[in-house]
């Protein structure tokens, strides 16, 4: 068992499911005794990155700040869970460099699906021209080329997506597996 902090980085379009999955994963990890902190893009922008806009430069600064905080947490045995659109490959590569145990989770859903969900009503506003530089509409989203995990939220339900992440963490020994049936029987039993 590695017994380390690590950074779980959820990236994907707005409405793809980053917040939902990250909250479910955080609950499960806390129930298993981990110390967990969620850095959610929407929340971070009201504190750590207040005043930043949505140009590439400001988005990169935002992602870099989140990556820095995640590295501070994870090097102190806290699980840092990041849920941020983080649309650019180069800035994701940069935060990967900053974090020793970095697990990128691509929360995948098509623009059409996210727009149909329109959880926060933002796509309608963006289409109406009320939110400029909206990711997927008039600002790019660069899909991860080699993420550790892909959660396809058009094919999986929420529980399946959460379980996929937990399973990965167990298999790679970031966390202990809880399933008794997976343990080898004792020879002396």
Shortest Cβ 184–ligand ADP spacing (Å)? 32
Q: Which one of 7-15, 31-39, 56-64, 172-180 is the stretch in contact with ligand ADP (CB under 6 A)?
A: 7-15
Set 74, 86, 91, 161: catalytic member: 86
Is 124 assigned a ligand-binding role in the annotation? no
Count the site residues for ligand ADP by CB under 6 A.
18
Which residues lie across from 66 on neighbouring strands? none
Backbone torsion region of residue 155, taken as left when φ is above 0, otherwise alpha when ψ lies between -120 and 50, otherwise beta: alpha
Which of 74, 87, 83 is closest to 174 using CA atoms? Answer: 74
In sequence order, which residues have a C-beta less than 8 Å from that of residue 94 and are 6 or more positions away?
60, 63, 64, 67
CB of 2 to ligand ADP, least distance (A): 26
Q: Is 18 annotated as a binding residue?
A: yes
Of the pair 2, 130, the CB lying nearest ligand ADP is at 130
Residue 86 among the catalytic residues:
yes
**Parallel, antiparallel, or unpaired: how do β-strands 102-108 and 36-40 relate?**
unpaired
Nearer to ligand ADP, 75 or 152 (CB): 152
Q: How far, in Å, CA of 8 to CA of 102, rounded?
A: 6
Annotated binding residues for ATP, as ranges? 12-19
Residues near ligand ADP (CB under 6 A) = 12, 14-21, 83, 107, 117, 119, 153, 156-158, 161
């Amino acid at each position: 068992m590695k017994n380390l902090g690590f950074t779980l980085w959820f990236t994907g379009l707005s409405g793809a499911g980053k917040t939902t999955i990250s909250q479910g994963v955080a609950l499960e990890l806390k129930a298993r005794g981990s110390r967990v902190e969620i850095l959610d893009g929407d929340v971070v922008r009201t504190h750590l990155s207040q005043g930043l806009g949505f140009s590439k430069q400001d988005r990169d600064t935002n992602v870099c700040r989140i990556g820095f905080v995640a590295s501070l947490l994870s090097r102190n045995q806290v699980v840092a869970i990041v849920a941020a659109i983080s649309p650019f490959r180069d800035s994701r590569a940069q935060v990967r460099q900053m974090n020793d145990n970095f697990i990128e989770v691509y929360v995948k859903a098509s623009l059409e699906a996210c727009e149909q969900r329109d959880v926060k009503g933002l796509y309608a506003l963006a289409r109406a021209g009320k939110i400029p530089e909206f990711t997927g509409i008039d600002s790019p989203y660069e899909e991860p080329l080699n993420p550790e995990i892909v959660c396809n939220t058009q094919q999986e339900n929420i529980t399946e997506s959460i379980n996929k992440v937990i399973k990965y963490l167990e298999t790679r020994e970031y966390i202990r597996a809880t399933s008794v049936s997976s343990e080898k029987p004792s020879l002396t039993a």
